[in-house]
Every structure is written in C-alpha cells, then in structure tokens.
Amino acid sequence: MIKVNEYFDGTVKSLALENEDGRVTVGVMAAGEFEFGTSTIEYMTVVSGSMTVLLPGETAWKTFRPYETFVVQAGQRFGVKTGQPSAYRCIYK
C-alpha cells in the first residue's frame, strides 16, 4: 500500500514509495510557510509551483522552480515559503 503522510494539519501531504532512487516521497504544500527537520540527507526537487527556501546556515531565502533541486543535510532544519500550492519530490539518502 502507498502510505499517505500528513503534516501541519493537512496543509502538507505526501505519498511514499521506494524504487531505484531509494526512499522517495512526492508531496504537496498548500500556500504558506513551513519549517521542516531532516533525519537523513534530503534532495528536494520542485515539480510544480515554486518554493522559497531558507537553507541551514543561510540568511537569504532562495526560490526554486520546477525541476530545480536543493539539498539539506541530516539533522538540520529548513524553512519553506510557498506563494501558491506547490508540489515536490524528495529523495532520502
């Protein structure tokens, strides 16, 4: 069965899979601002909409658009602002 994850009162949801990429989720964020924590390295790729991201140790927010990827190391926190509902793929390494 395909697992459905929910975060932030259902304003972020994701579907989990495992394949040649390893552990993967695809998910949707409503418009809003979110802070996430990592337990593994995460390769986050925007697939629809856009995400403006504050990466660990950075002071400037940076915007990522479809097929652009940012990487967050394990044990870090990062911020995401979405001006519109947006979708992503996350690969966990």
Give the chain's end-to-end CA distance (angstroms, integer): 22
Q: Which is nearer to its own copies, 11 or 40 (CB)?
A: 11
For the bound state, the minimum distance from the C-beta of residue 59 to its own copies, rounded and expressed in Å, comes to 28
For the bound state, the minimum distance from the C-beta of residue 50 to its own copies, rounded and expressed in Å, comes to 8
Q: Which is nearer to its own copies, 16 or 55 (CB)?
A: 16
List residues near its own copies by CB under 8 A.
1-2, 4, 10-21, 24, 26-28, 30, 45, 47-49, 67, 84-87, 89, 91
Q: Which residues pair with 87 in a beta bridge?
A: 28, 48
Q: Are 88 and 36 in contact (CB under 8 A)?
A: no
Query: Cα–Cα distances in Å, from 61 out to 13, 44, 70?
Result: 23, 15, 12
